[in-house]
């Protein structure tokens, strides 16, 4: 049996030509390269791809997506030349709905995409944060029934305390450098009826007045002493037997053994033990300098100069801690 060929040679040529043009255009479209940018895992890569889909382009770039990962396209409405593809890795996100919190590991570009991906119905519901919000790790998405009563209240925003080490304070001592101050925030609360219970749920907050951080210095300094002039550093502390003297008990010419006029803060020492010019601090007497000596001042004996004789008598003889200052 023979079939009649209904196509004349001219029509055959036309059909083949049209099919060739269509195929050429299709292959040309597939082959047309795109200049795109891929942002994934902290790395930004510019490349030229021929893929028709984002998944294909990511595969060409060696970027592997897990089922929970997602991506978003920026700088363009669709996957085309000049588009930027940002890979969003799965992150911990919680969804609260009808009194129940469910935890997910999901990566998507918006709250809406997260809810769609995990299959949470939000139709006719109030969603906090808004559907177009970009998700963050540990975010809680609140899906509130449309009939829930929404109220706002002002709450205190506690300040944070920042500790910083200071070698200018004795070890363990704390000192406030700048005091903290509480702020205020406006909290939105949804009152939703779940079964027989009414549940109050905080769904959003807005900072009215930011809290001011408190900065506290924590002492890390060693060999430090608190005095009336603040904290001073010392190299060593020695136990000394201390007496007191006045100008009348000096050498008679009104100057010390090193030739200076005595005054409060000059002490007599054994220069073989405490060199002249050594700066010291003595509790109950104050800051002093080794600037005199005497016949009885030997070893761990010191004599403290007093302006008034009654003060010297009142001092008497006592054992003191003498801090040799750096």
* CATH assignment of the domain containing 96: 3.10.20.30
User: Is residue 95 domain-shared with residue 178, that is, in the same domain?
Assistant: no
* CATH assignment of the domain containing 265: 2.40.40.10
Strand partners, 15: none
User: Is residue 262 domain-shared with residue 318, that is, in the same domain?
Assistant: yes
pLDDT of residue 119 exceeding 90: yes
Check if the beta carbon of residue 142 is closer than 8 Å to that of residue 120.
no
The pLDDT value recorded for residue 16 is 58
CA 91, 92, 94 angle in degrees (round to 5)? 135
Domain finish residue from 109, 124, 147 = 147
- Residues with Cβ < 8 Å from 258, sequence gap 6 or more? 276, 291, 292
pLDDT digits (tens, 9 = 90+) for 213-254: 999 999 998 898 888 888 899 999 999 999 999 987 655 567
Domain finish residue from 110, 126, 147 = 147
Domain finish residue from 175, 201, 219 = 219
What is the count of structural domains for the chain? 4
Model confidence, pTM: 0.56
Q: How many helices (H) and strands (E) does the chain have?
A: 4, 21
Mean pLDDT for all residues in the chain? 88
Radius of gyration of the chain from its Cα atoms, rounded to whole angstroms: 42
- Residues with Cβ < 8 Å from 29, sequence gap 6 or more? none
Check if the beta carbon of residue 71 is closer than 8 Å to that of residue 58.
yes
Alpha carbons 7 and 238: distance in angstroms, whole number: 121
User: Is residue 72 domain-shared with residue 6, that is, in the same domain?
Assistant: yes
pLDDT digits (tens, 9 = 90+) for 127-186: 999 999 999 999 999 999 988 999 999 999 999 999 999 988 888 889 999 999 999 999
User: Is residue 118 domain-shared with residue 49, that is, in the same domain?
Assistant: no
Tokens linked to 150: 């929404």
- Domain span at residue 187 reads 152-219
The percent of residues in the chain predicted with pLDDT above 70, rounded, is: 89
How sure is the predictor about 114, in pLDDT bands with cuts at 50, 70 and 90? Answer: very high
The pLDDT value recorded for residue 88 is 92
Check if the beta carbon of residue 153 is closer than 8 Å to that of residue 189.
yes
Sheet architecture: strand order including 197-209 = 149-157, 183-194, 197-209
Q: What is the mean pLDDT of residues 262-287?
A: 95
User: Is residue 82 domain-shared with residue 4, that is, in the same domain?
Assistant: yes
User: Is residue 37 domain-shared with residue 110, that is, in the same domain?
Assistant: no
pLDDT of residue 297 exceeding 50: yes
Bridging pattern class, strands 214-221 and 161-170: parallel
User: Is residue 117 domain-shared with residue 162, that is, in the same domain?
Assistant: no
* CATH assignment of the domain containing 183: 2.20.230.10
User: Is residue 161 domain-shared with residue 105, that is, in the same domain?
Assistant: no
Q: How many CB atoms lie within 10 A of CB 150?
A: 14
Helices (H), 73-200: 111-118
Q: Which residue has the tokens 């305390």?
A: 161
């Amino acid at each position: 049996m023979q079939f009649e060929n209904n196509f004349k040679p001219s029509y055959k040529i036309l059909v083949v030509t049209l099919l060739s043009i269509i195929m050429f255009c299709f292959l040309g479209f597939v082959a047309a390269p795109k200049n795109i940018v891929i942002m994934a895992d902290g790395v930004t890569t510019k490349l030229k791809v021929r893929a028709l889909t984002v998944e294909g382009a990511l595969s060409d770039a060696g970027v592997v997506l897990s089922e929970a990962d997602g991506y978003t396209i920026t700088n363009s409405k669709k996957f085309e030349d000049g588009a930027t593809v940002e890979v969003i890795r799965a992150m911990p996100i919680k969804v609260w709905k009808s009194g129940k919190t469910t935890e997910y590991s999901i990566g998507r570009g918006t709250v809406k995409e997260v809810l769609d991906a995990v299959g949470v119905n939000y139709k006719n519901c109030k969603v906090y944060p808004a559907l177009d919000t970009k998700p963050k790790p540990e975010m809680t998405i609140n899906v509130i029934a449309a009939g829930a009563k929404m109220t706002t209240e002002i709450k205190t925003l506690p300040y944070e305390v920042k500790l910083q080490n200071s070698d200018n304070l004795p070890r363990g001592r704390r000192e406030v450098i700048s005091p903290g101050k509480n702020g205020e925030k406006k909290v939105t609360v949804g009152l939703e009826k779940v079964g027989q219970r009414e549940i109050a749920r905080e769904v959003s907050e807005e900072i009215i007045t930011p809290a001011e951080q408190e900065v506290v210095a924590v002492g890390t300094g060693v060999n430090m002493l608190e005095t009336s002039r603040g904290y001073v550093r010392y190299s060593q502390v020695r136990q000394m037997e201390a007496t007191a003297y006045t100008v009348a008990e000096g050498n008679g010419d009104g100057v010390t053994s090193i030739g200076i006029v005595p005054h409060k803060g000059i002490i007599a020492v054994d220069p073989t033990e405490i060199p002249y010019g050594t700066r010291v601090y003595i509790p109950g007497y104050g800051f002093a300098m080794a600037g005199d000596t005497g016949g009885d001042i030997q070893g761990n004996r010191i004599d403290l100069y007093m302006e008034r004789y009654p003060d010297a008598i009142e001092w008497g003889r006592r054992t003191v801690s003498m801090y040799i200052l750096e």
